[in-house]
Structure 1
Amino acid sequence: MGWLIPRLLAAVAAVAAGALIGMLVGNASHWPALGALLGAALAALIYGFVDAWRAHRFMNWLRRQMEGSAPRDAGFWGEVGYRVERTVRTLERRVDTESARLDQFLDAIEASPNGVLLLDAGDQIVWCNSVAADHFGLHPQRDRQQPITNLVRAPAFVAYLQSGDFADPVSVAGPGSRGTVLLAVRPYGDGNKLMLSQDVTERERNDAMRRDFVANVSHEIRTPLTVLTGFIETMGNLPLTEVERRRVLELMSQQTQRMQTLVGDLLTLAQLEGSPRPASDRWVAVHKLMAQVRADAEVLSAGRHTMGFSGGDTTQVAGAEAELLSALANLVNNAVRYTPSGGTVDVSWSLRPDGAGELEVRDSGIGIAREHLPRLTERFYRVDGSRSRDTGGTGLGLSIVKHVAQRHGGELEMRSEPGRGSSFKLIFPAARVRQVDTPADSRRSIDRVGAE
């Protein structure tokens, strides 16, 4: 009420001044009372007009959404305009601050690797980030205020949302059956819901691969163990001749060697997956790798194949020698195993136009059908399981080769055709290949060993 008394006093002062002026004027016409009355009325009218004009300006400012500053009038309306403007500006600053905070919060949710979707009490979409939109095939802006069950119609999701029991998450298929999305709902506020989604396609794939891996390892080890157990029981329960005993021991040795090879390949894979990438400043001579692999291949072939080794005399590759040797040995040994007697196995090194190095193992063996090529590097994948076991393969060799290539920044290229042999290429990036000035051994440039 502090504004009322000054306002009344101002009105009284205006009326009194008007009456006084009117009385002075009325004395001249001998009508002082009438002059005072008219002067007071005129003063009151002028005061009311000025007050109404100020009120009109103030209302216009309000109608214009308070654009600009409030009218800077004196008196009551000036004070009202100032206080209203100050209050409004303070509220605007608060709204701007809260809006900025909300934008930052939404930006943080947008940056989340998980999907976030807000639903109102009617299960209509209030907001969602781009990840959630991708998980459910939504449009972040166009689909707002749409019922979520009209857009995501997976029966498992609809039943989960309508049940009201959100203790456990639910898995649903992504749009177009693309992958699997794990979904969790958390109620908040007055019937609102926070929906969180996560793409678990890769996790499920890895879990399946892990289960298959364990099952395959168990099977691969159980088979030779069963054979060994049978041989041990045979030797303990049956009288064997010396020839039979030697044959049993030979077979037991083969199964033991098979298990040792399998365990060795498993340890190699574990080491490749768990160790840092090979250094780029340790150089390995290509001719040295070829020489070591050639010696082992000739023993495995036992003169049944024609083998050629060419190139690499003046070239070095940066990386881990043991890994490179393992990869090349796996490729060459596979070529020898799956190439019939009298066939050829060629190992060559060459440089590509972009400076990358290419180590190729080519054979004239039985070949592989095109549909099997994409899966050859999967662990324990075999085109013909019985044939692989007969040749001593573990099903892990090409998986090791692929890991070695990737760890050296390269790749494994495969080409094959049934009855026309196979070609496997280890490609190394130019940064890991260099030339040296002096050939290590010129006699190794092109050398072929013929089968007798």
Structure 2
Amino acid sequence: MNVIWARATASLVLFLVLIGGVTLALGVKVGLAAAVVGLLLHWGFATYQAQRLWRLLDRPAYGTVPSAPGVWGEIYYRLFRFSKRWYQQVRDVEAQHARFIEAIQVSPNGIILLDNEQRIEWCNANAERHFGVDAERDVGQHITHLIRQPDFIHYIGSPREGMDLRMSGMGRKFHKVLSVQVLPYGDHRKVVISQDVTKLERTDSMRRDFVANVSHELKTPLTVLAGFLETVRELPLSEADRARYLGLMEQQSLRMQAIVNDLLVLAHIEGDPKPPGEQRVNVRTLTQHLRDEAMGLSGGKHTIHLDIDPGVGITGAENEIASAFGNLVSNAVRYTPEGGVIDVSWRAEDGYGVFTVTDDGIGIPAEHIPRLTERFYRVDRSRSRGTGGTGLGLAIVKHVLQRHEARLSIRSQVGRGSQFAVHFPRHRTVLLTVTDEEMDDADYPYDAEVSADVAADVAARIGD
């Protein structure tokens, strides 16, 4: 017997005892009258409490529990405990639902939930960006009224659901490629899952182009080598012709070797996850070596000027920086006609170390500049091969600068020349102490005003 039955039984027994006592003391009539009055009072009390309970159930208010004596107080207390447990369960479900929604919102995929008639029930933020829908405005809209590409309309109603569908041109401001899947779930409902694969498609396209370009670049010297080997082996040649053919074969071999070496350098730079070290690089000494190499490549056909601030250095991987700077200088030599002028400068500008290579060469059309750092990209393929370049120099420059948190800016005008400027961040730009003796030992001219006080002057321009 529970507490409610116990209290009800006890109340009934007490009532009967009281009525019996009144009857014995005052007579049967008085006892019956007392019993009737007691029953009416009990009925009125029960009716009042039932009305209170009805109002409570009709308009429940969590935390509000009426007070009452006896059985009704126990009923109200039990209802309060029940509502408390129910309220906590609801809060737990709501919290779990909120966590689930948050998890879907941070998903890199777009997700759209459809009802059994393919109308939108809910979608996350990525789906809004992918398809241009609105999570609030478009609820209840049929999915094909909003995504009207014929491929998608055919796909969502076909047995191919669950397979991957590639959709192109989804972006409003730029070209975008989506991978879309439609999967069934629940009671004839569907979920649309989308993934932005634009970068993946671009990378895959670059990989295909890279393989094709490498094959094309190596095919030419291999064809030349095979042809000359067959000629040397099968035809009687004079010593002069034999020497000339062997020289051409050596030239093509060196060209293939240069391509392979640049590919290895590029693969090493791209595959090295470690950031470059903090080795201090003396740009003055580095550019001196670059000038000597450029003069050898030029064969005395160009004028090369250096304007180097010896009090400014950088930190990083010296071999990588030398490779990047060397590619910029050698490119200037290759693409500047005979008699042209090439200016190489290094200085601090607003705390940034800036390395600049300027030439008065053939220049670059504006539409080609954004793609110059792609591997094997050539503005003019026939002219580029004639210069002896591998088509990988600026790709190496790009990856070296990325590792050193530097950026490359390019300005060019067809027929008037080009300027390539490398900007190093402030935390990689350092001061070097330069003495008068070192200035006198330099084998190329500096500005006359540069003296032993150059470090102080540079410090004033760079700042702490």
TM-score (norm 2): 0.87
Write the distance in 2 (CA, Å) between the matches of 1:199 and 1:81.
Answer: 57
Write the distance in 1 (CA, Å) between the matches of 2:424 and 2:10.
Answer: 97
Write the distance in 2 (CA, Å) between the matches of 1:411 and 1:362.
Answer: 17
Q: Which residue of 1 aligns with 2:362?
A: 366
Q: Which residue of 1 aligns with 2:328?
A: 331
| 2:351–2:426 contact (8 Å) kept in structure 1 | yes
Write the distance in 2 (CA, Å) between the matches of 1:53 and 1:428.
Answer: 85
Q: Which residue of 1 aligns with 2:402?
A: 406
AA matched with 1:427: H
- Residues 24-423 of structure 1 mapped to structure 2, 5 A cutoff: 33=29, 37-173=32-168, 174-176=170-172, 178-352=175-349, 354-423=350-419
Deviations 1:320-362 (A, max 9, x none): 121111112211111111212211111111110x211111111
Write the distance in 1 (CA, Å) between the matches of 2:10 and 2:264.
Answer: 101
Write the distance in 2 (CA, Å) between the matches of 1:106 and 1:144.
Answer: 16
Write the distance in 1 (CA, Å) between the matches of 2:109 and 2:426.
Answer: 38
| 2:63–2:80 contact (8 Å) kept in structure 1 | no
Deviations 1:69-118 (A, max 9, x none): 33232334333322222222211111111221221222222222222332
AA matched with 1:306: T
Give identity over the alignment, percent. Answer: 44
| 2:334–2:387 contact (8 Å) kept in structure 1 | yes
Q: SS at the partner of 1:379?
A: coil
Q: SS at the partner of 2:157?
A: helix
AA matched with 2:331: N
Cα shift at 1:164: 4.4
AA matched with 1:320: A
| 1:297–1:336 contact (8 Å) kept in structure 2 | yes
Q: SS at the partner of 1:187?
A: strand
Shift in CA distance, 89/447, structure 1 to aligned 2, threshold 3 Å: closer
Write the distance in 1 (CA, Å) between the matches of 2:104 and 2:335.
Answer: 55
AA matched with 1:368: I
Shift in CA distance, 12/145, structure 1 to aligned 2, threshold 3 Å: farther
Write the distance in 2 (CA, Å) between the matches of 1:343 and 1:9.
Answer: 117
Q: Which runs of 5+ in 2 are unaligned?
A: 448-464
Deviations 1:10-68 (A, max 9, x none): 5686588569758977x7xxxx64x5554443332222111111111222222231443
| 1:16–1:40 contact (8 Å) kept in structure 2 | no
| 2:161–2:183 contact (8 Å) kept in structure 1 | yes
AA matched with 1:50: F
Shift in CA distance, 426/163, structure 1 to aligned 2, threshold 3 Å: same
Cα shift at 1:158: 2.2
Shift in CA distance, 120/164, structure 1 to aligned 2, threshold 3 Å: farther
Q: SS at the partner of 2:395?
A: helix
Cα shift at 1:369: 1.6
Write the distance in 1 (CA, Å) between the matches of 2:218 and 2:296.
Answer: 26
Shift in CA distance, 349/175, structure 1 to aligned 2, threshold 3 Å: closer
Cα shift at 1:167: 3.7
